[in-house]
Amino acid sequence: MRGPRPEPAEEPPDREWEQDLLLAAAYVSDAQYNRNVPFETSPRAIRLYYFYNHWTLRVATYVFICVDLSLALFEEPALFPLPFLATSIVEVLCLTAFFGRLVHFAKVTPQMVFWKDTKNICILVTIALTLLDLIIYGSLEAVQIHGIRWSRAFRPVFLINFPESRQIRRALRSLRNTLPDILYVFLLFMFSVLIFSLMALKLFGDRGLKTAEGSPYLTNILEIAFELYVLVTTANSPDVMMPAYDFNRWYSLYFIAYIIINTYIFMSVFLAVVYNNYRKHLKNEIRKLVYLKRHKMMEAFKILKVKVGTEFVVREAEWKRLARMVVPDISSSHLELLWRISDEGQKGHVDRMNFLRLADLLNIQVVTVNIRKHPLEAWAPRVYQSSASLFVQRMVRHRAFVWVYDVIILVNAIFIALDERSLFISRAEWFFLCLYVAEILLKLYTYEPRAYLGRKQFWNWFDILIIIAALVATVANATIQSARRYNSQQVLDIVLILRILRLLRVIVSIQRFRVIVTTLVNIGPTVLTFAGLVFVVYYAFAIVGMEVFQGKVRFFDPNFTSPDALVCGNPALRGSAFARARYCKNNFNDLASAFLLLTELTVVNQWHVIAGGFALATHQAAKLYFIFFHVVVVILIVNIFIAFILEAFFVAYSLEKSELETVIEKKIQELGVGIQEEEEQDKKPTDNVGSKDGGSSGGDGDHGGAAAKGLYCRIASNKYRTVDALLQRMFESEIAPDEEGPSLDEILSFSPSDMYVKNPNFENSA
């Protein structure tokens, strides 16, 4: 009758507690209420659930996924070749692990839920297909026929469907949802390209014009369509026009019309469509998420509620048992503080509205605030408080200290730009290093070390890491140099980069820049979602590319004098733009090269030269591969990326101007037990946070208890939140706290189109 207990909290910044709270409620409650507990509740099932969520198993799954994906490095065409037998054994091992994990998941999930989830079906099908492919390829190999390992392109499926990759799945969903809308625009765009191609054929086809390379100019409709598609990406921008322009000035109008319509207008429309869909679906998902969470909390409330007077409430005892169950290592003072925030009238029970807030409460960081003494002060108070020591501390805290070091960094920058081979300069570098080390030591002496190296003191960490790394590398290099009389190139490169990264610190001293940098740093983690998405797409394209193009283009060492070196080992490339630009190393001969080549294609410029090269080396149809890549990556994914950055900036901007406070935060403020994170952040050399203590505890005697113990709630400032979290918060602030909310089925079938209100709002909508 008892639900499995959730994992002890590893405390990610914003954990979603609702599912755990619901389970714990079923466990806490003595009622036989488990209609909403969708799992077997036998002790064995609970152990299995435990085990499934154990971190070792999760990490193991990650490792297997990585191994499976990295197999492409060892298979033909390989960076580090291994025999087929070895890679196939490893692959089968991975597949077994995935299958085992899936079976395990099936055991802890109700059958119906399991089979409804497309994720599980996807994994099963992919496992089956991969096995099939392995068998076919293996048997063909046995009779010396070279097959194709087509299933390798599906490997990212495992990465996507791993439960923790929710962000990547959402990005993919957003991509899929955009497709129907973008399809019509794309068809129209292709139609426009075709009409212009036809015009070009008629206008220029018979003129006998020649390109700069001397080949005939726009004579074949397919070639024209390709050139015009390339012109949309601007990659062949003036070149494709020059022969016509040289012939007659007026023909340039044709190209200008083409560029305005297809490059500027259509590409902006693509961005508009993608952005609009991204917004729409993002908001829908957030609404779904918020309602789902609320639904779970409501269920938990139903399980625990008792009737007191006219209303249903949850009593203190149950409430605290619940919280303790979900966060086993919660301290009693922490729990007491949370209870004080929840229990409005100190009635010994909470009503539904306050109960619903429990999950949010658990996410509030509670910090122990006391005036921490500097360890040196505790150890040798006399010396630390001496006038010389106090002078040093005052000096370090002074604003001029920062300025002096900014100047030192800039002087250092000039030294770096100068030639480092002179003895004076290399000595100076040691001098600068000493100055930086001294700075860190002085700061550690002045500020409380634990505060100075707090979790969010990004720039302090940055300083220390850069300096320590530079120190180690410089010493290592000096050692190698004096011992063997040669510079290790790798170590030197690292030293150089570290030395230059130090310059970044100057930016942080300037307030205006710090704001922009902070926004950019905040976007960072979510940019990684896109890195995941891009990795998945690149991987699939790379596998296909490697199968089709391997060995067609080869790179020879520049000093190699064979005539083949100049045509990338393929005589078909003689005289091509590809060979002339020395692009031989842009090939599909191993996974790393393929990834780099795809990156170059994403950047777009010269992609037609690369596509043309591979088309010459194999077949003209090869261009389709490159066009398809352009449509998927540049038109869809890059636009979603831009949409994401725009959205992040707009949300950050609209919040900068507003004061979106949750009910809980207001409550915390009222109780006087809150500290703003900004307060900690902004005075960069963090004086101990306790300075706030005196001001806030003076309020009301009754609440002074917790505050005196030094427990405070940390209120996250707006600027440390992600777009997701911000939107959730905005949406939560709009639904009435006592609203029942839609039913579970309604929630799951939300669609973006029923979100729009009748009267768009002027302030915000446009």
Site for its own copies in 218-277 (CB under 8 A): 221, 234-239, 241-242, 245-246, 249, 252, 256, 259, 263-265, 268-269, 271-273, 275-276
Q: Which residues contact 342 (CB under 8 A, 6 or more apart)?
A: 319, 350, 354, 355, 357, 358, 361
Give the nearest distance from C-beta 598 to its own copies in angstroms. Answer: 11
- Among residues 308 and 725, whose Cβ is nearest to its own copies? 725
* 178 exposure class (CB count in 10 Å sphere: 0-12, 13-18, 19+): buried
Measured CA to CA, the distance from residue 554 to residue 564 in angstroms comes to 9
- The CA distance from 552 to 465, in Å, is 45
Q: Is residue 705 helix, strand or coil?
A: helix
**Cβ closest to its own copies, residue 336 vs residue 600:** 600
As measured in angstroms, the least distance from the Cβ of 213 to its own copies is 10
In contact, 713 and 338? CB cutoff 8 Å: no
**DSSP conformation class of 210:** B
With contact defined as beta carbons under 8 Å apart, do 722 and 525 qualify? Answer: yes
Residue number with CB closer to its own copies (196 or 355): 196
Q: CA distances (Å), 366 to each of 334, 455, 668, 691, 709, in order?
A: 7, 14, 11, 17, 12
String marking each residue 397-436 x if it binds its own copies according to CB under 8 A: ----------------x--xx--x----------------
Among residues 11, 164, 700, 734, the one that binds its own copies under rule CB under 8 A: 734
Out of 332, 387, 482, 759, the only residue in the binding site for its own copies (CB under 8 A) is: 759
In the list 82, 90, 408, 517, the residue contacting its own copies (rule: CB under 8 A) is 517
User: What residues between 560 and 599 interact with its own copies by CB under 8 A?
Assistant: 580-583, 585-586, 592, 596, 599
Nearer to its own copies, 87 or 236 (CB): 236
Residues 703-732 that bind its own copies (CB under 8 A): 723, 726-727, 730-731
What mask, x for binding its own copies by CB under 8 A, covers residues 606 to 625? x---x---------------
Q: For residues 532 and 537, what is the distance between their CA atoms, to the nearest angstrom?
A: 9
Question: In this chain, which stretch among 56-64, 425-433, 511-519, 672-680 interacts with its own copies, using CB under 8 A?
Answer: 511-519
CB of 197 to its own copies, least distance (A): 9
Binder of its own copies out of 308, 604, 627, 663 (CB under 8 A): 604
Number of residues located near its own copies, criterion CB under 8 A: 111
Q: Report the residue number, 292 or 610, with the smaller CB distance to its own copies.
A: 610
CB 293: neighbour CB atoms within 10 A? 21
- Of residues 478 through 507, those in contact with its own copies by CB under 8 A are 493, 496-497, 500-501, 503-504, 507
In the complex with its own copies, the residue whose CB is nearer, 388 or 414, is: 414
Least gap, CB of 265 to its own copies (angstroms) = 7
CA angle 594, 552, 631 (to 5 degrees): 45
In the complex with its own copies, the residue whose CB is nearer, 271 or 308, is 271
Contacts of 506 (CB under 8 A, 6+ apart): 406, 409, 410
Residue 737 neighbours by CB under 8 Å, 6+ apart: 353, 356, 663
Interatomic CA distance for residues 50 and 39, integer angstroms: 13
**Contact partners, residue 599, CB within 8 Å, separation at least 6:** 538
Smaller CB separation from its own copies, 89 or 755: 755
Are 718 and 660 in contact by the 8 Å Cβ rule? The answer is: yes
Question: Residues 605, 620, 743, 751: which binds its own copies (CB under 8 A)?
Answer: 605
Which of the stretches 26-34, 515-523, 562-570, 624-632 binds its own copies when contact is defined by CB under 8 A?
515-523
Give the type of residue at 456. K
Length of the chain in residues, anyone?
A: 766
What sign does the dihedral 263-265-271-277 (CA atoms) show?
negative
Footprint (CB under 8 A) of its own copies, residues 527-546: 527
The CB-of-578 to its own copies minimum distance in angstroms stands at 11
Out of 403, 430, 560, 756, which residue is the one contacting its own copies (CB under 8 A)?
A: 756
Burial of 587 (0-12, 13-18, 19+ CB in 10 A): buried
CB neighbour class for 746 (10 Å; exposed up to 12, middle 13-18, buried from 19): exposed
- The count of other CB atoms within 10 Å of the CB of residue 15 is 15
| 345 touching its own copies, by CB under 8 A | no
Q: Between residue 274 and residue 313, which ones bind its own copies under the rule CB under 8 A?
A: 275-276, 279, 283
Chain centroid to Cα 393, Å, comes to 40
Question: What does the per-residue mask of binding to its own copies show for 46-85, with x meaning CB under 8 A?
Answer: ----------------------------------------
Q: Which is nearer to its own copies, 287 or 443 (CB)?
A: 287
* Closest separation in Å from C-beta 525 to its own copies: 14
CA–CA separation, 675 and 706 (whole Å): 14
Residue 265 or 378 having the CB closest to its own copies: 265
Contact between 503 and 409 (Cβ < 8 Å): yes
CA dihedral 3, 9, 15, 16 (to 10 degrees): 10
Place of tokens 């990490």: 59
Interface residue with its own copies among 338, 638, 640, 713 (CB under 8 A) is 638
> Given the complex with its own copies, which of 225 and 356 has the nearer CB atom?
225
Q: CB-wise, 313 or 601, nearer to its own copies?
A: 601
**Opening angle at CA 704, ends 700 and 706, nearest 5:** 145
Minimum Å gap between C-beta 78 and its own copies is 15
Give least dist CB 192 to its own copies, A: 9
One-letter amino acid at 264 equals: Y
- 689 within 8 A of 680, measured Cβ to Cβ: yes
Residues 678/456, Cβ–Cβ less than 8 Å: no
> N- to C-terminal Cα distance for the chain?
53
Scan residues 168-197 and list those touching its own copies (CB under 8 A): 184-185, 187-188, 191, 195
Candidate residues 32, 56, 118, 753; the one interacting with its own copies per rule CB under 8 A: 753
User: 128 vs 503, which CB is nearer to its own copies?
Assistant: 503
Helix (H) or strand (E) holding 307: strand 306-308
* Minimum distance from residue 755 beta carbon to its own copies (Å): 7
| Residues from 646 through 705 that contact its own copies (CB under 8 A) | 646-647, 649-651, 653-655, 657-660
Least distance in Å: CB of 581 to its own copies? 6
Pick 272 or 441: Cβ nearer its own copies = 272
Query: Minimum distance from CB of 206 to its own copies (Å)?
Result: 9
Residue with tokens 């938990």: 300
Q: How far is the CB of 159 from its own copies (least distance, A)?
A: 21
Q: Which residues contact 700 (CB under 8 A, 6 or more apart)?
A: 672
Q: Which range touches its own copies (CB under 8 A), out of 90-98, 380-388, 508-516, 539-547?
A: 508-516
Least Å distance between CB 342 and its own copies?
24
261, 225 in Cβ contact below 8 A?
Answer: no
Binding its own copies (rule: CB under 8 A), the pick from 309, 558, 563, 701 is 558
Of the candidate residues 308, 335, 478, 642, the single one contacting its own copies (CB under 8 A): 642
Residues 145-164 that bind its own copies (CB under 8 A): none
**201 is an interface residue for its own copies by CB under 8 A:** yes
Phi first, then psi: what are they for 568, rounded to 5°?
A: 55, 35
- In the bound complex, what is the minimum distance in angstroms from residue 580's beta carbon to its own copies? 7
Kindly tell me the number of DSSP H helices and DSSP E strands found in the chain: 39, 6
